[in-house]
Amino acid sequence: MTSPIAWNWQTGERLLALDDPEEWDAAFERGERSLGTAAIGLAFNCTLEEASPRIIRAMQLPDIAQRGFAFTAAGTAARLNGALTPELYAALRAEGPGRRSIAVNAIDDTLTFVPFRRLPTWLKCWSVVSTVRNKLDAWRLSSSYAVTDAWKAVRRR
């Protein structure tokens, strides 16, 4: 474990190297600033079981930027472990998978790095919905470009 003297909770310096869940807990109790950043460090340096409860607590922080970092930590955990805990899946679901959700990148990372067969049912359904939506958007844009190009060609005559 790295010496806690090295952590700078005000600037976030060295927190991506945090490997001590108890230090994160103590900082949470003190109300430190960069808990979401430190949650990413836990995702990198601790087991999923150790990091998961702290990531979930960071997802509930009042500071929106730090909450965003907590969701980044969940995506990082999915990348590194190829799975998430049931509690992390529940937290992602509670935030919502839509395009305007703060969890959108974490959900995308989960869909990319967790095997489909290991996803919960709601996330499998979202995977299908988002794939269909993306395909429809691509078709809509292609047809829009074709119409625009045709219109330009007609106007040139």
Lowest mean pLDDT segment, chosen from 45-49, 51-55, 127-131? 127-131
Query: What three-state secondary structure class fits 149?
Result: helix
Model pLDDT, residue 54: 97
* CA 27 – CA 33 distance, rounded (Å): 9
pLDDT digits (tens, 9 = 90+) for 75-108: 999 999 999 999 999 999 999 887 788 999 999 9
Q: Is the dihedral of CA 112, 117, 118, 122 positive or negative?
A: positive
Model pLDDT, residue 44: 97
* CA 68 – CA 76 distance, rounded (Å): 12
Model pLDDT, residue 140: 93
pLDDT digits (tens, 9 = 90+) for 2-44: 455 578 888 888 999 999 999 999 999 999 999 999 999 999 9
pLDDT > 90 in the chain, percent:
79
- Residue 55, Cβ density class (10 Å: 0-12 exposed, 13-18 middle, ≥19 buried): buried
Average pLDDT over residues 42-48: 97
pLDDT > 70 in the chain, percent:
97
Q: How far is CA 126 from CA 66, 96, 115, 117, 151, in A?
A: 26, 10, 14, 14, 37
* CA 30 – CA 34 distance, rounded (Å): 11
